[in-house]
Amino acid sequence: MFNDPMPVPSQPEVVVRRSARRRRTVSAHWSEDAVVLSVPQSATRREIEHWTRELVPRVVERRRREAARGAERRSDDNLLQRAQELSRRHLDGRARPSDVRWSARQTTRWGSATPATGVIRVSAQLQEAPEWVLDFVLVHELAHLLEADHSPRFRELEARYPLAGKAQAFLDGVAWAHRTAGRAPEAQRGASPS
Ligand SMILES: [Zn+2]
């Protein structure tokens, strides 16, 4: 399932970083898939072992909780609720989505909408996108439930989302990066949500 978060390693690689500026304080944080343990310059091996046992499980647990929250936020149920809320907030509640889900197959477009049924699909590629970008794509698709094509009337509805211009620029940038990296070269050509 593409909604599943990446598994969090319970015994991650630990990178010890000695700092001359640190006197007593020790801290641990994630850097990619490793945990960086920052210790004073003078730390002994025994002290480092002790802090590894103390601090690494805590940061592992914290990342697990964050991953679980992220997966929950990005579930299909939440996507429908989110779309309903955006319709209320920006479209006077007139767009009534019946079914809003992530689609792993949606690789050529950011989203799609079927006015006759109220079904909206959003590309799973947007699961990691900032919330305000996802919201823009949802507003775009919600507006399609009211106006099928990109008419001036449609653009007026879409522009009610305050960050529309910025979000469109973000999506254009992602599409550009994909093209440049040779990924989905044809697919992303029309960067707008369709
Ligand atoms: Zn469109």
For the stretch 60-79, pLDDT in tens is 998 888 777 766 667 888 89
- Beta pairing class for 111-114 and 119-123: antiparallel
Integer Cα distance of 104 and 120 in angstroms: 13
Q: Separation of 111 CA from ligand 1 center, angstroms? A: 8
Q: Label residue 185 by pLDDT band (50, 70, 90).
A: very low
Q: How does pLDDT run across 75-110, given as a tens digit for each residue?
A: 888 899 999 999 999 999 999 999 999 998 877 789
Q: How many angstroms does the Cα of residue 148 sit away from the middle of ligand 1?
A: 8
Pairing of strands 111-114, 99-103: unpaired
Ligand 1 midpoint to CA 133 (Å) = 15
Higher-confidence residue of 92 and 126: namely 92
CB atoms within 10 A of CB 61: 12
φ, ψ for residue 130, nearest 5 deg? -60, 150
The answer to whether the predicted template modeling score (pTM) of the entire model surpasses 0.75 is: no
| DSSP assigned state of 124 | G
**Domains of the chain from N-terminus onward:** 13-73 (no CATH), 76-180 (3.30.2010.10)
